[in-house]
């Protein structure tokens, strides 16, 4: 039994292979599952990070351009009629919803500003939900990935102690591979968590700034009604 364990832990030429692929292959099912989950979470997190970075860059530029054109226009109604139907800018969509309600309210006797204000609030909430989509995933990965990695670490260390007990040998060749697999899981947990936490904090801050921009525009728009 001792010879079998030493043979599994030691590669050809009597040297242990600590490459990432070998660490994954040598790991048992539980540690492999932890590694796969953390790698998948990390990949999806980075895809979200890239997507949200492009989104905020795009909407900040388009909203600034929209505001400049709006305040330079002769009238809100003529500007509304010239907005493309397929506009993807959140601020433009909010304005269209509010302006559409205002035009409908022309035939009503009262409470025009209140109705437009409610429409602006609902539209703002809808647009912000779209912008903040998957924020909770980044927060979840940032808070849970280290613990998932820690679980893999504890499991790997337990396997190392079992190897020692079975072989009755405390040689580093017996213990090192299991500990390396365990630490690999911890490293992956941190690798997934750190970017997710940083990205969540940044995008959450960007979302608050954009929401403030929307609220400022809505107040100014209501003031001209």
Please state, in angstroms and rounded to a whole number, the distance separating the CA atoms of residues 186 and 192. 10
Distance between CA 207 and CA 143 in Å, rounded? Answer: 20
* Long-range contact set of residues 61-64: C-beta below 8 Å, sequence gap at least 24: 62/88, 62/89, 62/91, 62/92, 63/89, 63/90, 63/91, 63/92, 63/210, 63/213
d(CA 79, CA 89): 15
pLDDT of 4 reads 41
The pLDDT tens digits of the residues spanning 82-139 come to 888 788 899 999 999 988 888 887 665 567 778 888 999 999 999 999 999 999 999 9
Asked if pLDDT for residue 11 goes beyond 50, the answer is no
Sequence-ordered alpha helix ranges (H) in the chain: 2-9, 20-26, 29-72, 76-82, 90-104, 112-131, 135-167, 172-223
The whole-angstrom separation of Cα 183 and Cα 193 is: 15
> What pTM, to 2 d.p., does this model score?
0.80
Backbone angles phi and psi of 99, in degrees to 5: -70, -35
The mean per-residue pLDDT over the stretch 36-62 comes to 95
């Amino acid at each position: 039994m001792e010879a079998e364990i030493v043979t599994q832990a030691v590669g050809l030429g009597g040297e242990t292979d600590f490459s990432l692929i070998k660490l994954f292959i040598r790991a048992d099912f539980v540690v492999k599952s932890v590694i796969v989950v953390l790698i998948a979470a990390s990949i999806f997190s980075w895809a979200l990070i890239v997507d949200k970075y492009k989104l905020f860059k795009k909407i900040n530029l388009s909203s600034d351009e929209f505001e400049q054109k709006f305040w330079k226009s002769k009238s809100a109604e003529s500007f509304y009629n010239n907005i493309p139907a397929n506009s993807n800018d959140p601020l433009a969509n909010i304005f269209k919803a509010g302006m559409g309600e205002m035009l409908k309210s022309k035939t009503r006797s009262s409470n025009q500003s209140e109705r437009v204000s409610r429409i602006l609030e609902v539209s703002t909430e809808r647009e912000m939900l779209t912008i903040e989509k998957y924020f909770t995933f980044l927060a979840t990965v940032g808070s849970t990935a280290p613990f998932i990695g820690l679980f893999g670490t504890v499991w790997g260390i337990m396997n190392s102690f079992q190897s020692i007990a079975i072989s009755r040998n405390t040689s580093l060749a017996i213990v090192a591979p299991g500990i390396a697999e365990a630490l690999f899981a911890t490293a992956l947990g941190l690798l997934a968590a750190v970017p997710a936490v940083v990205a969540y904090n940044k995008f959450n801050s960007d979302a608050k700034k954009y929401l403030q921009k929307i609220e400022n525009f809505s107040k100014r728009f209501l003031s001209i009604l």
